[in-house]
Amino acid sequence: MKTTADRLVIALGDPAGIGAEVTLKALARPRPAGQEVVLVGCGRWLRECHRQLLACSDAPLADPDAFALVDIPLEQPVVPGVSSPAAGAASFAWLSEAVALVGAGGGRALVTAPIAKASWQAAGHAYPGQTERLAELTGAADAGMLFTAVAPGGGWRLNTLLATTHIPLAEVSARLGPELVHRRLDALLAFCRRFRSRPRLVVAGLNPHAGEGGHLGREEQDWLIPTLEHWRGQHPQVRLEGPVPPDTCWLEAAAAWRGQAEGADGYLALYHDQGLIPVKLLAFDAAVNTTLGLPFLRTSPDHGTAFAIAGQGIARADSMAAAIQTAWELGQTPTTAAVSPP
């Protein structure tokens, strides 16, 4: 008999985007024996997407009727590639129902297809992104965004956690501080210990050249360097490096991605684009957005709704397939146990 540990719950994202396409393409790939999938979305819309994709795509597609479905019908039609309040209302409702299902023990982990923030705003849902809505629904006080990807050779894993997420650049310095960096380092350490008991972590600086001794900004001298020294003292078993100048922080990761060096186990970026630019340059089709701090594991692809190609059958499903695989593999892995040699 199947148990909830065999199930993944997938919220299908913005119906005007590529969520249905990348989900059906990803689910057509080989999957672990015994894995169950529960889809959350509109059944009529999903079957219509399937019919349209069969007509314009040569890629293998899963039959949506092969999976359990929590059917929440669209209240109004949507047009592929067009942001609308109807699409925003649907993706918001689908995410909320999927969270309730997993939270009630109805699944091993949650996978979310991309949503459009503008559509949420048009529907009256003023959230910067899915991460913030997930935090609200689960009561998580400190949800964080971590991007993880396995290098093409199948060995080294790139892990980058963002200290701050969807906020304007002008607000980053005010949001940062010793307490937040401590919490983010604790979360990054816990995640990296899934794979290595004594991980090496690297922290990027905030200013150019990590402040260059205070000549290009005072944040490093005033609080970041003392914060890292304090955290090192609390975790003597962990090798913590930084603050490293942001323009060179991920050079070693790039070499490790090509199999030419041994990269760090985890990187802490201090703001959204500082971490996402290197991650997407190295691993756009492989990276997975993993939300830390929730009572369950949540993953999503690292791309957006791709309205420009929605409905054309040409979207690549690699990141969605990686999100499903990561949710399955890590959904039951203890956060403090290493699963590879130190």
Q: What is the pTM of this model?
A: 0.88
Distance (Å, rounded) from C-alpha 249 to C-alpha 267? 8
Same fold, 1-142+293-333 and 144-292: yes
pLDDT in tens, the chain (342 residues): 355 778 999 999 999 999 999 999 999 999 998 899 999 999 999 999 999 999 999 999 999 999 999 999 999 999 999 999 999 999 999 999 999 999 999 999 999 999 999 999 999 999 988 999 999 999 998 889 999 999 998 789 999 999 998 899 999 999 999 999 999 999 999 999 999 999 999 999 999 999 999 999 999 999 999 999 999 999 999 999 999 999 999 999 999 999 999 899 999 999 999 999 999 999 988 899 999 999 999 999 989 999 999 999 999 999 999 999 999 998 864 433 333 322
DSSP structure string for 220-276:
IIIIIHHHHHHHHHH-TTSEEEEEEPTTTTTHHHHHHHTTSS---SEEEESSHHHHH
Class for domain 1-142+293-333, per CATH? alpha beta
Task: Report how far Cα 249 is from the mean position of its chain's Cα atoms.
Answer: 21
Instruction: Provide the token pair at 200.
Output: 């090496």
Q: What is the DSSP string of 110-153?
A: EEE----HHHHHHTT---SSHHHHHHHHHT-SS-EEEEEEE-TT
At 341 the pLDDT is 29
Q: Give the domain ranges of the chain.
A: 1-142+293-333, 144-292
What pLDDT, on a 0 to 100 scale, did the predictor assign at position 331? 80
Question: What pLDDT, on a 0 to 100 scale, did the predictor assign at position 311?
Answer: 95
In this structure, which topology does domain 144-292 adopt according to CATH?
A: Isopropylmalate Dehydrogenase (3.40.718)
Here the tokens at position 142 are: 């400190």
223-232 long-range CB contacts below 8 Å, 24 or more apart?
Answer: 223/177, 223/178, 224/181, 226/178, 227/178, 227/181, 227/182, 228/181, 228/203, 230/178, 230/182, 231/181, 231/182, 231/185
Q: Specify whether the CB–CB gap between 74 and 15 falls below 8 A.
A: yes
